[in-house]
Chain A
Amino acid sequence: MPKLTIDGREVEVPAGTNLIEAARSLGVEIPHFCYHPGLSVAGNCRMCLVEIEKAPKLQIACNTAVAEGMAVLTSSDKVKKARAGVMEFLLLNHPIDCPICDCAGECYLQDYYMDHDLKASRLEEPKNKKLKAQPIGEHVMLDKERCVLCTRCVRFTDEVTKTHELGIFGRGSGEEIGLAPGATLDNAYSACVVDLCPVGALTDRDFRFKSRPWFLKETETVCTGCAMGCNVVLNTNTNPYNKVGEARSYRLFPRENREVNGHWMCDEGRYSHKAIDQGRLANALVGGRPAGLDEAMHRVAQLAGPLAKAAPARAAFLLSPQLTNEALLAFRALAASLGVAQVEAGLDLRAEGAADGFLIQADRNPNSRGAADLGLGPRAGVLGGKDLLKAAEEGKFDVLFVVGQALPEARVQALAGKVKALVGLLSHEAPGQALYHAALPLAVAAEQDGSFTNVRGRMQRSRKALGPLGDSLPGWDLAQRLGSALGAPQPAEGPAELFARMAASSPATAHLTLDSLGTLGAASAAPVPA
């Protein structure tokens, strides 16, 4: 590994590392716009110019690989002058419309202006006028005046999605990013260009004008849109004094994890955060009528308690791959305490879509793998989801808990006629919700701590960003409360204890704790080939 000095400090990094990354490993930031570790090097913004001993002129750090004995200066007077020069050039025709720009607060131009420029514009001529607020796709708005022409978005559509919707048009000072003739930015990952854009040229049409980024809380969690478990940041805000509207969740954007999603996420997953607030079941229902949680619990105890005790073989739990590992474990334990053998994750009922061979998995649930690892998948002696529902409709079960599964209305109707105690634990309103004898509100992933195991067997932490909506409760909590109501008390354990119990059951995971999963997760077993 080559050894070099950066600002006089010695550092050793793998051969081929560029100077931006080498400096980053020392905690030194070399400012840049066009460079992005997930894209090819363009070298056009010229912001990362650094001084290299013996080189006749400044070199761009993004396109300079480390070399043995190299001496790099990242903040010499020469470098500072060049940076200030580049900043002045970049801001020359920039509209400085920060007060109405969504990117204000997370804009490279703003940050670097404070760090490297800090002077008034010397332009005395009118600025270039370009098109503002052009919708270029379902999710993305383009403002050509704010653009610094770093070409990150163009390279993304060329290199990552290979869909080539964007291009550079014109030349010189009139140059613009734009759509290829006849194209619309409509690939499945289109909103990634908003994350990539270092300035406010590309903004998210959904997030636009909804909030200033500094009002938003950041939670490092995972996407629940499919079995991939892309690492994301969830932005939320519950402060009524600086928010507009009722929604608590504002946006998701990807967070780098080279083992899972690289730097990207799909649009379907990105906008799945809306389900945190929209269409939620916030209160319990008893016979279709809104009820307090205690009343509903009491009703469940009355209805299901004696039946389950009398004939555990005629009781069943239908769980869901939407639930966290901790919730699944808690329900598995509850079923065991009640002597109920028929407990299954209903993997054959799960929502599926098209896979794309990149990030999007056909299985649109975050935890099918976790359910299978917990022994809740298809197995001998236990009915699968479809068979269970069929058997229940034929009157073979007295008690059925449907946990986190959204069943069609007709199905619920058929079940309600045959099952004596039909209890639904629902996160969202569903057409058949009133037909359950009792329905309990279930919290979503963003409202609880826990873990999911992705399609490749990677255990990843899902973090609590918000308190549960209304009377809803996390699955693991409801399982324990149901235990008390049904006369099978469970140990009061939180997600961390539940995770520890689960991890201890296998030598491959025995060393893990919920906290040790960190922000990037850990492999639970030999990864399944992609």
Chain B
Amino acid sequence: MEPSPKYLTRNFGNPAALGFDGYSAAGGYAGLKKALAMTPQEIIDLVKAGNLRGRGGAGFPAAVKWGFLGKTDGPKYLCVNADEGEPGTVKDGPLMENDPHQLIEGIAIACFALGIRQSYIYIRGEFYKAIRIVEKAVEEAYAKGVLGKNVLGSGFSLDVAVHPGAGAYICGEETGLLSSLEGKKGMPKLKPPFPAVKGLYGAPTIVNNVETLACVPHILTLGADAWNALGTEKNGGTKIYNVCGHVQRPGYHELRHSVTLRELVYDVCGGPLPGRTVKGVVPGGSSSPILLPSEMDVRMDFDSLGKAGTMLGSAAVIVMDDRTSMVRALDNLLHFYSHESCGQCTPCREGTHWLYLISQRIVNGEGRPGDVDRMLDICGNMVGNTICVLADAAALPTQSYIKKFRAEFDAYAAAGRRIALVGGAQEKAVAHA
């Protein structure tokens, strides 16, 4: 594994960088100064050449998304998606808590490139610390002339407001976020029209993830080629990977996209706890289909994982060792998705709930023949049939857990009450029988 230089996390552990002076002393705001001397189109072209992929989970090329922004004489907005809520994910929170000016610099560059004069940072309501730190940094950025009228003497003006979310998981979906920001119930909006054409308050709007924007200053300072060299083909730059679950050293790490899942779990995070073996790994947050130990040699970039039938998502790796009941793990997941479905679309509202009801029955030892196939059939009626991808986020992992650990599900469902009563180690024995 090739070691990676630190860009996104370079100021982590340096409290001075929380302030404007410390951030500037560490090389901060050089990207913005460079950008202000360029034309907006040059900046967009540079980011495009840098192959910056959206870090919110979909991996859509950021500069292409910017290119969709509707032309208007009226207002247009950049909304920063800081509603980090994908189970397993720990990257946007640390980015805001450790280096808020990096985010502000990215916002300023993006807004200058897109001619946007108002940006909202929608921060998950539970992130009290990040909200406080970002609010303070925004205040200081205004005082230092990075925000407000005439940014760094360029004649460009930009306002940034911090909005603590009052929402739910679904408010991290970009149109759900816009609904919530508008003061409405957090429900995804019908597309088309896409936010870039008709978004916040009906105006053209770009929604970018915190990490995506944090990358932007570095593309400016390094140049597209150097940035690309850090990543893999079509996946420019470094990436924050966060690993949790049954590993010796869980945590987040800034690495090159070329790292494999096996290297990440075994070399970076120390592998499973002593005496245990890896049973399954979720590579990109709870919404991504699970991989078996035999599938761990995949490179951690958007395209490689896509080819492997899963996704990089938020790069939140969840490791489950041999003591894990996949039936119970999926049950936990389904509880989450049925609780977080906004309830708007029929297949998601009813499907997530029904999956959880069946799963609960199996877990409680009341499984019946046909339950597992029924769950797969329900998933088939959910995938791709709803306004947003929450239904897919529930159904795709369900399909993968069942497909890859079918014997365990069948044994659990067939064993009925016996398993539920004994649980634990015996459960493992049955599953592996």
Is the Cβ of B354 less than 8 Å from the Cβ of A44? no
Which residue of A is nearest B193, CB measured? A63
Confirm or deny: B353 has a beta carbon within 8 angstroms of a beta carbon on chain A: yes
Confirm or deny: B41 has a beta carbon within 8 angstroms of a beta carbon on chain A: no
- Expressed in whole angstroms, the minimum distance between the Cβ of A264 and any Cβ of chain B is 24
- Expressed in whole angstroms, the minimum distance between the Cβ of A12 and any Cβ of chain B is 23
Confirm or deny: A202 has a beta carbon within 8 angstroms of a beta carbon on chain B: no
Q: What residues on A are CB-neighbors of B382 within 8 Å?
A: 85
Q: What residues on A are CB-neighbors of B354 within 8 Å?
A: 89, 92, 123, 125
Q: What residues on B are CB-neighbors of A42 within 8 Å?
A: 190
Which among B185, B192, B339, B346 has the greatest number of chain A C-beta atoms within 10 A? Answer: B346
Q: Which of B168, B185, B381 contacts A168 (CB 8 A)?
A: B185
Is the Cβ of A168 less than 8 Å from the Cβ of B343? yes
In Å, the complex CA distance between A172 and B344 comes to 8
Q: What residues on A are CB-neighbors of B357 within 8 Å?
A: 123, 125
Confirm or deny: B197 has a beta carbon within 8 angstroms of a beta carbon on chain A: no
Confirm or deny: B71 has a beta carbon within 8 angstroms of a beta carbon on chain A: no
Confirm or deny: B351 has a beta carbon within 8 angstroms of a beta carbon on chain A: yes
Q: What residues on B are CB-neighbors of A85 within 8 Å?
A: 347, 380-382, 385
- Expressed in whole angstroms, the minimum distance between the Cβ of B330 and any Cβ of chain A is 17
Is the Cβ of B350 less than 8 Å from the Cβ of A89? yes
Q: Which of A47, A89, A93, A149 contacts B381 (CB 8 A)?
A: A89
Known: A125-B357, A125-B358. A63 touches B350 (CB 8 A): no
Q: Chain B 330-359 against A: per-residue CB contact (8 Å), 1 yes, 0 no? A: 000000001111111111011111100110
Known: A85-B385, A122-B374. A174 touches B346 (CB 8 A): no
Q: What residues on A are CB-neighbors of B344 within 8 Å?
A: 44, 149
Confirm or deny: B361 has a beta carbon within 8 angstroms of a beta carbon on chain A: yes
Confirm or deny: A124 has a beta carbon within 8 angstroms of a beta carbon on chain B: yes
Confirm or deny: A24 has a beta carbon within 8 angstroms of a beta carbon on chain B: no
Q: Which of A43, A63, A125, A167 contacts B361 (CB 8 A)?
A: A125
Which residue of B is nearest A82, CB measured? B385
Known: A86-B385, A89-B381, A125-B357. A46 touches B350 (CB 8 A): no
Confirm or deny: A9 has a beta carbon within 8 angstroms of a beta carbon on chain B: no
Is the Cβ of B340 less than 8 Å from the Cβ of A86? no
- Expressed in whole angstroms, the minimum distance between the Cβ of A373 and any Cβ of chain B is 45
Q: Which of A49, A63, A171 contacts B385 (CB 8 A)?
A: A49
Which residue of A is nearest B390, CB measured? A172
Is the Cβ of A172 less than 8 Å from the Cβ of B349? yes
Is the Cβ of A89 less than 8 Å from the Cβ of B346? yes
Confirm or deny: A58 has a beta carbon within 8 angstroms of a beta carbon on chain B: yes
Q: What residues on A are CB-neighbors of B249 within 8 Å?
A: none
Confirm or deny: B30 has a beta carbon within 8 angstroms of a beta carbon on chain A: no
- Expressed in whole angstroms, the minimum distance between the Cβ of A186 and any Cβ of chain B is 23
In Å, the complex CA distance between A174 and B357 comes to 13
Confirm or deny: A81 has a beta carbon within 8 angstroms of a beta carbon on chain B: yes
Q: What residues on B are CB-neighbors of A123 within 8 Å?
A: 354, 357
Q: How many residues of A contact B (CB 8 A)?
A: 35
Q: What residues on A are CB-neighbors of B349 within 8 Å?
A: 89, 149, 172-173, 175
Q: What residues on A are CB-neighbors of B345 within 8 Å?
A: 44-46
- Expressed in whole angstroms, the minimum distance between the Cβ of A277 and any Cβ of chain B is 41
Confirm or deny: B387 has a beta carbon within 8 angstroms of a beta carbon on chain A: yes
Is the Cβ of A171 less than 8 Å from the Cβ of B346? no
Known: A81-B381, A171-B341, A172-B339. A43 touches B350 (CB 8 A): no
Is the Cβ of B347 less than 8 Å from the Cβ of A171? no
Confirm or deny: A351 has a beta carbon within 8 angstroms of a beta carbon on chain B: no
Q: Which of A57, A122, A125, A171 contacts B342 (CB 8 A)?
A: A171
Number of A-B contacts (CB under 8 A): 98
In Å, the complex CA distance between A216 and B3 comes to 80
In Å, the complex CA distance between A167 and B187 comes to 13
Q: What residues on A are CB-neighbors of B358 within 8 Å?
A: 124-125
Known: A43-B387, A82-B381, A172-B342. A89 touches B347 (CB 8 A): yes
Which residue of B is nearest A65, CB measured? B192
Q: What residues on B are CB-neighbors of A171 within 8 Å?
A: 168, 170, 340-343
Q: Which of A45, A63, A168, A173 contacts B338 (CB 8 A)?
A: A173
Which residue of B is nearest A42, CB measured? B190
Which residue of B is nearest A92, CB measured? B350
Q: What residues on A are CB-neighbors of B170 within 8 Å?
A: 171
Is the Cβ of A45 less than 8 Å from the Cβ of B346? yes
- Expressed in whole angstroms, the minimum distance between the Cβ of B119 and any Cβ of chain A is 28
Known: A149-B349, A172-B338. A57 touches B384 (CB 8 A): yes
Which residue of B is nearest A86, CB measured? B346
In Å, the complex CA distance between A478 and B386 comes to 63
Q: Chain B 385-396 against A: per-residue CB contact (8 Å), 1 yes, 0 no? A: 111000000000
Confirm or deny: B417 has a beta carbon within 8 angstroms of a beta carbon on chain A: no
Is the Cβ of A173 less than 8 Å from the Cβ of B341? yes
Confirm or deny: A362 has a beta carbon within 8 angstroms of a beta carbon on chain B: no
In Å, the complex CA distance between A122 and B350 comes to 13
Confirm or deny: B368 has a beta carbon within 8 angstroms of a beta carbon on chain A: yes
Is the Cβ of A175 less than 8 Å from the Cβ of B385? no
Q: A: which residues have CB within 8 A of B? A: 41-47, 49, 57-58, 63, 81-82, 85-86, 88-90, 92-93, 122-125, 128, 148-149, 167-168, 170-175
9 extra A-B contacts, CB within 8 A, seeds A44-B345, A63-B190, A173-B353: A44-B346, A49-B385, A58-B384, A85-B382, A85-B385, A122-B374, A171-B168, A171-B340, A172-B342
18 contacts between A and B (CB under 8 A): A43-B387, A45-B345, A46-B345, A46-B346, A86-B381, A88-B381, A89-B346, A89-B347, A89-B351, A90-B346, A124-B358, A125-B361, A170-B343, A171-B343, A172-B338, A173-B338, A173-B341, A175-B349
Nearest 6 pairs between A and B by C-beta? A85-B381, A175-B343, A173-B353, A89-B350, A57-B384, A172-B341
